[in-house]
């Protein structure tokens, strides 16, 4: 189907462009360098023959592949993001291609003795004999989500070059700032004009996801009182000690490192403090909406109980919802999940249907009126030096996109 060298060349070209997003910025995109890849994608979409190629003032890229059939077919979209995570540097990415992986340790960086090993990452053994693209151990790779972009553009190019494959209208969209939770914030669903879409943003080959966490962020502020320590008895209030009590009042078994599947959690990810004031930053996650609301309420109840013990309001809790479980929006349209499942099976892939322990642009887009399940893009170990992607997985993901387009045109609607 798609030539392996062509996929490799395209992917390597994308990942060597630094597109790290910036959570401290208030602009869209959050970093100027995201424009570099966004503008390059616009030109490439035009070069392969896509129609209605646009880029707006916030770097959202959209394009259309017109229908080549004379009957009605729903308009299907495919979406990926071009920013990379600020959790680990994406500057000066030096990808390396490893042919016919032998299942042994991969020395990423001899000078720093950085090794990608199946002893630590046993999923590597799924790809013995495959061609892997890895980092040099000093940066992330950027398969999240430049693998998705590679697959979408390669699939569109293939359909354009093979007009004998019948398909309805197809929309593609590439977004900034997904990694900092803003990828869908300024996405123009009406302009995109799809009946439904798929984000190509999953991991392992075969992943198909239509449910994700309900998510909120919480900032807990504890105010103390500083007094000279030599004369502090009965006067000093140490905010860090109160913070310790707050942390210990939340369920110790309900943290990310002790939960999996559909189990929710409280995650303390940042702490700053001194005697006068301490701030705790949490994320709250749960697949079940009722339990999600209970978690938020419990955090407020803990603060209230401690304030009562202290005899004053020293703890305040600010909670902001971030996104919700897209399952409630997709379940009424389960045929779009079934279509993706059938497209995978037609490509010889066993679908792995499981909940996302996180969120995607698709979760927000689903609540904006664009139902949007998530399909594998093929990469592993995102957001760090051990990230890698099997080229064969990207080829299969490209084939799945083509199959969805072809099978949708054959279906009765």
pLDDT for residue 355 is more than 70:
yes
- Give the residue with greater pLDDT, 97 vs 180: 97
Q: Last residue of a domain, which of 279, 306, 323?
A: 323
CATH number of the domain that 221 lies in?
3.30.70.360
**pLDDT tens-digit profile of 135-174?**
999 999 999 999 999 999 999 999 999 999 999 999 999 9
| DSSP code for 178 | G
Stretch among 72-86, 315-329, 349-363 having the lowest mean pLDDT: 349-363
Alpha-carbon span 37 to 26, nearest angstrom: 20
Catalytic residue chosen out of the listed positions 18, 83, 179, 399:
83
Burial class (CB in 10 A: 0-12, 13-18, 19+), 358: middle
- Note whether 205 and 160 are same-domain residues: yes
Helices 391-410 and 4-15: crossing angle in degrees, nearest 10, is 110
Within this chain, do residues 263 and 230 fall inside the same structural domain, yes or no? yes
Summarize the confidence of residues 206-224 as an average pLDDT. 95
Q: Is 70 a catalytic residue?
A: no
Per-residue pLDDT, averaged over 271-283, amounts to 97
- Answer with the one of 268, 294, 323 that is the final residue of a domain: 323
- Let me know: does 344 contact 51? Beta carbons within 8 Å: no
What are the C-alpha distances in Å from 162 to residues 82, 101, 266?
27, 32, 50
Among 323, 349, 373, give the residue marking a domain's end. Answer: 323
Predicted confidence at residue 357, as pLDDT, reads: 86
End-to-end CA distance of the chain: 28
**For residues 343 and 341, what is the distance between their CA atoms, to the nearest angstrom?**
5
DSSP-based three-state secondary structure for 18? coil
| 159 shares its domain with 43 | yes
User: What per-residue confidence (pLDDT) applies to 358?
Assistant: 78
CA dist 34 and 23 (Å) reads: 13
Averaged confidence pLDDT in the chain:
95
Taking 90 as the threshold, does the pLDDT of residue 88 lie above it?
yes
Could you tell me the CATH number of the domain that includes residue 179?
3.40.630.10
DSSP 327: H
Report which DSSP code applies to 342: H
pLDDT given for residue 359 in this prediction: 75
What domain range is 77 assigned to? 4-211+325-410
pLDDT value at residue 2: 78
Q: Tell me: do 283 and 380 sit in the same domain.
A: no
Question: Strand 76-81 and strand 196-202: pairing?
Answer: parallel
340 near 375, Cβ under 8 Å? Answer: yes
Which residue of the set 18, 177, 178, 254 is catalytic? 178
The pLDDT of residue 181 is 84
- The pLDDT of residue 412 is 65
Same domain, 126 and 34: yes
Domains held by the chain: number = 2
Give the model's pLDDT for residue 349.
Answer: 97
Examine the domain organization and report whether 235 and 132 are in the same domain: no
Q: Identify whether 178 is a catalytic site residue.
A: yes
Verify that 231 and 254 share a domain, yes or no. yes
Q: Tell me, yes or no, whether 144 and 258 share the same domain.
A: no
| Pairwise CA distance, residues 361 & 351, whole Å | 21
In a shared domain, residues 196 and 233: no
Instruction: State yes or no: pLDDT of 413 exceeds 60.
Output: no
Do 166 and 233 lie in one domain? The reply is: no
Q: Are residues 66 and 193 in the same domain?
A: yes
- Considering the entire predicted model, what is its pTM? 0.88
Same domain, 34 and 56: yes
């Amino acid at each position: 189907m798609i030539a392996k060298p062509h996929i490799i060349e395209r992917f390597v070209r994308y990942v060597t462009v630094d597109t790290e997003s910036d959570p401290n910025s208030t602009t869209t995109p959050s970093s100027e360098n995201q424009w570099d890849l966004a503008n390059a994608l616009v030109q490439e979409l035009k070069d392969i023959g896509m129609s209605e190629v646009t880029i707006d003032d916030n770097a959202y890229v959209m394009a259309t592949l017109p229908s080549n059939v004379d009957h009605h077919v729903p308009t299907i979209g495919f979406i990926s993001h071009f920013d990379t995570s600020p959790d680990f540097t994406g500057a000066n990415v030096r990808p390396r291609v490893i042919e016919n992986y032998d299942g042994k340790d991969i020395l990423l960086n001899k000078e720093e003795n950085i090794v990608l090993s199946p002893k630590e990452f046993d999923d590597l053994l799924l790809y013995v004999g495959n061609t892997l693209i890895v980092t040099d151990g000093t940066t992330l790779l950027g398969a999240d989500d430049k693998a998705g972009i590679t697959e979408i553009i390669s699939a569109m190019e293939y359909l354009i070059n093979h007009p004998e494959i019948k398909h309805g209208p197809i929309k593609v969209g590439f977004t900034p700032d997904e990694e900092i939770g803003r990828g869908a914030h300024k996405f123009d669903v009406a302009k995109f004009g799809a009946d439904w879409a798929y984000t190509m943003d999953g991991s392992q080959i075969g992943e198909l996801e239509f449910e994700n966490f309900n998510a909120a962020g919480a900032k807990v502020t504890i105010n103390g009182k500083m007094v000279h320590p030599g004369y502090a008895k009965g006067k000093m209030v140490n905010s860090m000690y109160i913070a310790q009590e707050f942390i210990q009042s939340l369920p110790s078994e309900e943290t990310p490192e002790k939960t999996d599947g559909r189990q929710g959690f409280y995650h303390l990810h940042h702490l700053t403090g001194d005697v006068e004031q301490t701030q705790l930053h949490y994320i709250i996650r749960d697949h079940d909406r009722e339990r999600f609301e209970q978690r938020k309420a419990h955090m407020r109840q803990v603060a209230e109980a401690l304030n009562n013990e202290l005899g004053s309001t020293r703890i305040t809790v600010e909670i902001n919802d971030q996104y919700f479980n897209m399952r409630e929006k997709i379940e009424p349209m389960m045929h779009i999940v079934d279509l993706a499942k059938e497209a995978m099976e037609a490509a010889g892939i066993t679908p792995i249907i499981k909940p996302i322990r996180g969120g995607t642009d698709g979760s927000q887009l689903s609540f904006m009126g664009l139902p949007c399940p998530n399909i594998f893009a093929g990469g592993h170990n995102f957001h760090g030096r051990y990230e890698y992607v099997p080229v064969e997985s990207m080829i299969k993901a490209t084939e799945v996109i083509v199959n969805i387009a072809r099978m949708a045109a054959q279906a009765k609607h």
